[in-house]
Amino acid sequence: MNAATTEELVAVARIWRDAPHGRKGDILAGACQRLGMTRATLHRRLKEITVVPSRKRRSDAGQVALTLDDAKFIAATLMEHMRKNGKRIKSVADAVEMLRVNGMIDARRIDPASGEVVELSDSAILRALRQYRLHPDQLLAPAPAISLRSLHPNHVWQIDASRCVLYYLPKQQSDNGLRIADHTAFYKNKPGNLIKMINDSIWRYVVTDHRSGALFLMYVTGGETGANLADIFIEAMSKREGEAFYGVPKMAMLDPGSANTGAVFQNLCKALQVKVQINKPGNPRAKGQVEKAQDISERSFESGLKLLAAEEVSSVDAINRLAAQWRRWFNGTRVHSRHGMTRDAAWLHIGSDELVIPPPADLMRELAVSAPESRVVSTMLRVSYLGHEYDVSHVPGVIVGEKLQICRNPWRLDTAQAIGVSEQGLDVYHVLERVVKDEFGQVASAPVIGEGYQRHADTPVQESLKAIELLVTGADTLEQAEAVRKARGLPFGGQIDPFKHINEAQIPDTLPRRGTTHDLVAPVVQLPPLTIIQAVKQIKGHFPGWSSAHYAWLQENYRDGVPVDDLERVVAELSAAMQPQSQRARILRVA
């Protein structure tokens, strides 16, 4: 408001205050006409310049008739009918009506004066939702955040990729370079153009140092892939002319994308001993610094590309050359609001032990495509890797026959690394020295026979075996245990009765049960009958006075052969037949 309007409002307020009853409305109407204000605006302006006595607090202030259970049902319905972008597609009135019809809520009050049951109004329900802290505005408020800090420059890097929505770079050879994505041609109702722009789009990678705020900006094509991420990470770590920010970080924070969790980037980080921190999905605040750096890069750098000639931005390399100039200017001149220094000045506070010089870029690219390999520990406590043997005797807990994860050592090419796990669950890298052999293939550092003797320290398995031997023999030393073994002492001093649990077992007595006889019939073996000659050989010994009559009797009575099982009966019959007639029993026939 200007001074004249304020003076006029003061005069209106004084006249209105002194006017008799019935005239105040006319005074306000005239003021609205003169000042060109609505009645509501005039009341608001008068309230700003006059002292208004405070209203008496209502006796029922802060009380709500809506129950907590009803409020929860209403809030849940409103939240369920909401899009991911936060747009509410169901009003409070519709939600309350739907829940009332389905008998889910009551949302009524009883008039204390008349006893009438009255439905709560939408405004009363909204006030109750706010009082219960169940209003959608309150439920959608971001959760409280915690400030995180890093210890030194290059302690934590944050990495993020974003597709440039403003520009795309056609792949045709004849094309003259960067294009601007016009919103009138590229939107959801023209999917063909939108797909074309996505396929030809360029991607912006931003890397920030959490301690100093220094940033690295680079553009790629082909999307958010593991190869692009590895190239960006390698370029950010490498020393660049005219830039202070470089080196190997201790930790890298990224989103849970497929490229970020893929084997290429993970292999590179494992070899460089960089801890990868994958943030929880849907939590961009976890790496808010790099998200803000994306916004700065888009507004401060990309916005200027529109003013350049086509030949100046005809390729990704040309754009990256411009990006390098911009980041040198930005890191070196723009003061960070948090620490009050330029980003380069803040990064230069890094200590010599905190700045890890990266290996050559070619070697790092090889590490990105070479995953750790599993190797079996030999009886010599060595592993074979890339055509050489490496000593693993100093690796804690190493056991003959177990497998170790072995990878290359980017800092010393004549060594390898064994990957272990600490008590905190973190990866630990043990440097393995290469076993050097002479021209005859023997280990150069091995002791000479007859001149020296060496042995490996006991492995965990050997220590366990010794402890078990002392326990079994009941000895205090290995010498005592050996003496017990020679004396053939019983294990555990004979204190264990191996059948005690059987002898002391309470076996219940069983009552006999009535059963059924099995109808098994033994198989009958049918042997072929003996010939007369074979039978004679078998029974001739029973007849000292063997004669042709015996033979004739057999031929007459056993023409088909003599059964093997009936030889005794045949002997008896033959003996009876050969007795004299007088000795035979007479058979009396009774007529």
Residue 340 has pLDDT above 80, yes or no: yes
Structure tokens at 75: 């809030």
3-state SS class at 220: strand
The kind and range of the H/E element at 164 are: strand 156-168
3-state SS class at 17: helix
Q: What are phi and psi of 253, to 5 degrees?
A: -105, 130
Angle between helices 92-101 and 122-131 (to 10 degrees): 100
The kind and range of the H/E element at 320 are: helix 316-333
Sign (positive or negative) of CA dihedral 534, 535, 539, 540 = negative
Select the more confidently predicted residue: 141 or 234: 234
Q: What are the sequence ranges of the domains in the chain?
A: 3-49, 68-139, 156-347, 372-433, 467-491, 532-583
Mean pLDDT of 78-99: 84
In CATH, the architecture of 156-347 is 2-Layer Sandwich (3.30)
CA distance 110 to 113: 9
User: Which pLDDT belongs to residue 356?
Assistant: 93
Structure tokens at 96: 């309350």
CA distance 223 to 278: 19
Residue 539 has pLDDT above 90, yes or no: no
User: Which pLDDT belongs to residue 590?
Assistant: 46
* Band (591; pLDDT cuts 50, 70, 90): very low
3-state SS class at 223: coil
* 196-203: Cβ within 8 A, 24+ apart: 197/168, 198/163, 200/168, 200/169, 200/170, 200/171, 201/163, 201/164, 201/167, 201/168, 201/169, 202/163, 202/164, 202/167, 202/168, 202/169, 202/178, 202/316, 202/319, 203/161, 203/162, 203/163, 203/164, 203/228
Structure tokens at 435: 């076993």
Select the more confidently predicted residue: 60 or 173: 60
Percent of the chain surpassing pLDDT 90: 22
User: Is 0.85 topped by the overall pTM?
Assistant: no
Alpha helices in 443-540, H assignment, sequence order: 460-473, 478-486, 500-503, 532-539
Nearest to 350, CA basis, from 240, 210, 242: 210
Structure tokens at 475: 């000895």
CA distance 434 to 587: 116
Interval 121-177: pLDDT, tens: 888 899 999 999 998 888 888 778 788 889 999 999 999 998 876 555 555 544 444
Task: Report the relative pairing of strands 117-119 and 108-110 from DSSP bridges.
Answer: antiparallel
CA distance 236 to 160: 13
Select the more confidently predicted residue: 32 or 169: 32
CA-based angle 437:438:439, to the nearest 5?
Answer: 125
Mean pLDDT of 308-314: 77
User: Which pLDDT belongs to residue 194?
Assistant: 47
Interval 545-574: pLDDT, tens: 888 888 888 888 888 888 888 888 888 888
Mean pLDDT of the chain: 83
71 neighbors 130 (Cβ within 8 angstroms): no
Nearest to 320, CA basis, from 345, 290, 297, 340: 297
